[in-house]
């Protein structure tokens, strides 16, 4: 045994020869543990041909060939490996696993932001001890929804458990991260097409919240083929039927369409065609276009008749759309992969790494 490297005698105290220290903690808790680990790990990287960075002593870089390189960043016992080619990073990881016990923290790519038919509720699983981690992840995902409407529903669902997140909620957040990893280059594509027709799609998921039994409403707004506005939101009250849920969604979409048409006029954008609202609910369309359905609507609040009022004065046109082409389904419920990809293409979401 010997004194750890860097240990110095205190002023006025002389230590006897060959003195040792009594170990009171595990080596992981010692101040010298990180230094000894860094010394061993850095010597290994240097033997593998890496060079230490001048700007950061914890950065190691190894050139491979003419244009490729591998970079390793060390922070205590956390290691980040990056490379211009996946093969080089995989080989380095395999070499390190032969000498050290490593755990790969990289998430696996996923093709969907949320598992279809996933049931989530508040008192589910164990309460997280570190709730800040969950809130940091969800907070960053909220900013990403500005350019990624395909994760809007999943993030909206995760936000509902931010006050008391449980283990299944964190697993769902990790699943969204896996989807983002698999679709890094994905985003909105705005066409140069001269079509300036204002179109809106509205839909709802009846009783989707298992805690409150309230429904989720979503809408998407297009100028031509370009998506310019979208929302996924839980309704304020419990609805008595699926027709009422869809009717409330039409009211919300109608307000957005009217506001966007006014905004376009302020920007000197002349749209000769009346804005069109699409719904896949024939019952909601009939209620909005036919005031005879009094028995089915007398319990609905007055503000929900906004869509009917807009139709009466000619501010918008209401049409029916098939359920398989209802793009707002992507904002109201988790979907299986074929339907999810089909609706995503209709929202002009493209991946720059997959474009031909």
Q: Sign (positive/negative) of CA torsion 100, 101, 102, 108?
A: positive
Closest CA to 218 of 122, 115, 347, 345: 347
Q: Dump pLDDT digits (tens) for 96-129.
A: 888 888 777 677 889 999 999 888 888 889 999 8
State the Cα–Cα distance between residues 177 and 111, nearest whole angstrom.
11
> Is residue 340 within 8 Å of residue 112, measured between CB atoms?
yes
Q: Which runs of consecutive H residues, i.e. helices, occur in 191-327?
A: 242-266, 282-289, 306-312
What domains can be seen in the chain, in order of their start residue? 32-97 (3.30.310), 108-184 (no CATH), 191-351 (3.30.420.10)
Closest CA to 331 of 227, 242, 240: 227
> Is residue 293 within 8 Å of residue 250, measured between CB atoms?
no
In the chain, pLDDT over 90 holds for what percent of residues?
30
* Contacts (Cβ under 8 Å, ≥6 apart) of 229: 219, 220, 221, 256, 260
State the Cα–Cα distance between residues 289 and 277, nearest whole angstrom.
12
Q: Sign (positive/negative) of CA torsion 59, 64, 69, 72?
A: negative
Name the pTM for this structure: 0.70
Q: Dump pLDDT digits (tens) for 142-157.
A: 999 999 999 999 999 9
Closest CA to 249 of 201, 294, 214: 201
- Average pLDDT value for the chain: 84
Residue 74 binned pLDDT confidence (cut-offs 50, 70, 90): confident
Q: How many CA atoms lie within 13 A of 133 on its CB side?
A: 11
Torsion of CA 79, 109, 107, 95, to 10 degrees: -40
Mean pLDDT of 24-30: 62
Q: What is the pLDDT of residue 317?
A: 86
Separation in Å, CA 91 to CA 16, 38, 42, 62:
48, 21, 18, 13
Q: Sign (positive/negative) of CA torsion 252, 253, 259, 262?
A: negative
Q: What is the pLDDT of residue 300?
A: 64
Query: 35-38: long-range contacts (C-beta < 8 A, 24 or more apart)?
Result: 35/4, 35/5, 35/6, 36/4, 36/5, 37/76, 37/77, 38/74, 38/76
Cβ-based neighbour number of residue 100 at 10 Å: 13
Tokens at 106, concatenated: 């990289």
């Amino acid at each position: 045994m010997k004194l750890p490297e860097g240990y110095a005698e205190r002023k006025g105290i002389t230590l006897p020869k060959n003195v040792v220290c009594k170990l009171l903690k595990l080596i992981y808790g010692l101040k010298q543990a990180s230094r000894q680990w860094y010394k061993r790990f850095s010597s290994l990287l240097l033997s593998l041909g890496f060079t230490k960075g001048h700007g950061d002593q914890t950065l190691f870089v190894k050139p491979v060939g003419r244009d490729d390189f591998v970079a390793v960043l060390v922070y205590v016992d956390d290691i980040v490996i990056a490379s211009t080619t996946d093969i080089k990073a995989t080989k380095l990881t395999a070499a390190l696993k032969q000498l050290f016990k490593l755990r790969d923290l990289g998430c696996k790519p996923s093709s969907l932001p949320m598992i279809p038919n996933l049931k989530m509720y508040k008192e589910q699983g164990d309460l997280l001890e570190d709730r800040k981690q969950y809130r940091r992840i969800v907070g960053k995902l909220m900013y990403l929804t500005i350019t990624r409407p395909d994760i809007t529903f999943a993030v909206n669902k995760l936000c509902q458990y931010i006050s008391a997140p449980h283990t299944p909620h964190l697993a769902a957040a990790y699943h969204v991260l896996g989807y983002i990893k698999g679709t890094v280059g994905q985003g909105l594509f705005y066409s140069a097409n001269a079509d300036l027709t204002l179109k809106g799609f509205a839909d709802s998921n009846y009783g989707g919240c298992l805690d409150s039994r309230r429904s989720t409403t979503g809408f998407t707004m297009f100028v031509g083929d370009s998506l310019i506005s979208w929302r996924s939101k839980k309704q304020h009250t419990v609805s008595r039927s699926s027709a009422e849920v869809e009717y409330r969604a039409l009211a919300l979409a109608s307000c957005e369409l009217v506001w966007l048409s006014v905004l376009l006029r302020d920007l000197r954008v002349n749209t000769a065609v009346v804005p069109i609202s699409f719904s896949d609910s024939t019952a909601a369309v009939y209620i909005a276009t036919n005031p005879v359905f009094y028995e089915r609507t007398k319990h609905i609040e007055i503000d929900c008749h906004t869509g009917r009022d807009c139709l009466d004065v000619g501010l918008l046109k209401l049409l029916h759309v098939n359920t398989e082409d209802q793009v707002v389904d992507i904002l109201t419920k988790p979907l299986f992969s074929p339907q999810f990809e089909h609706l995503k293409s209709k929202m002009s979401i493209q991946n720059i790494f997959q474009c031909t």
